[in-house]
């Protein structure tokens, strides 16, 4: 059994799910990414990504955080990477994966960075259940 560089993080199981889902259903992630990018108007996505990147490096422990992100993001596209960043940066955001789309839409509208980055993963999770 191999241990990932992020196995010690509270949301490690969710990060593993994102990576496994992305590998199993790349077409779903690609289509969802296109929709998310336009729905978030690009600039909001970029702002959320940058906020999560800084928070993730701090949450995971400086240089170690950077290594965790690099290891995870090397395998991920932008949509999966956004979900991974959110899950690494904010220990308390995994519940958003189970929120209904209406709730996520409200959170995205008010600029909630976690909701912006996790919406694609949340939608894919609902499709695959």
User: What single string gives the DSSP state of each residue in 4-23?
Assistant: PTTTTSTTHHHHHHHHHHHH
Q: What is the model's pLDDT at position 96?
A: 97
Q: What is the mean pLDDT of residues 4-8?
A: 82
pTM: 0.77
119/108 Cα distance (integer angstroms): 9
pLDDT digits (tens, 9 = 90+) for 54-91: 777 666 555 555 665 666 555 556 678 889 889 988 99
**94 and 3 Cβ atoms separated by less than 8 Å:** no
Range with lowest mean pLDDT among 15-29, 30-44, 95-109: 30-44
The answer to whether 32 and 21 have CB atoms below 8 angstroms apart is no
* Range among 13-17, 49-53, 60-64 rated most confident: 13-17
Angle value at C-alpha 48, between 99 and 66, nearest 5 degrees: 105
The domain ranges of the chain are 12-128
- Beta carbons of 76 and 84 less than 8 angstroms apart: yes
Rounded mean pLDDT of 106-119? 92
Q: Cβ contacts of residue 76 below 8 Å, gap of 6+?
A: 18, 19, 22, 84
Least confident stretch, 28-32, 85-89, 101-105, 125-129: 28-32
The pLDDT tens digits of the residues spanning 117-126 come to: 898 899 899 8
């Amino acid at each position: 059994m191999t241990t990932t560089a992020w196995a010690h993080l509270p949301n490690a199981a969710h990060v593993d799910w994102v990576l496994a889902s992305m590998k199993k259903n790349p077409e779903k992630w690609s289509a969802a990414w296109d929709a998310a990018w336009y729905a978030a108007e690009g600039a909001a996505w970029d702002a959320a990504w940058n906020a999560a990147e800084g928070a993730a490096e701090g949450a995971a422990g400086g240089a170690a955080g950077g290594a965790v992100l690099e290891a995870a993001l090397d395998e991920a596209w932008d949509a999966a990477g956004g979900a991974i960043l959110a899950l690494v940066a904010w220990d308390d955001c995994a519940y958003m994966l189970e929120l209904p789309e209406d709730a996520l839409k409200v959170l995205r509208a008010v600029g909630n960075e976690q909701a912006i980055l996790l919406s694609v993963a949340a939608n894919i999770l609902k499709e695959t259940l």
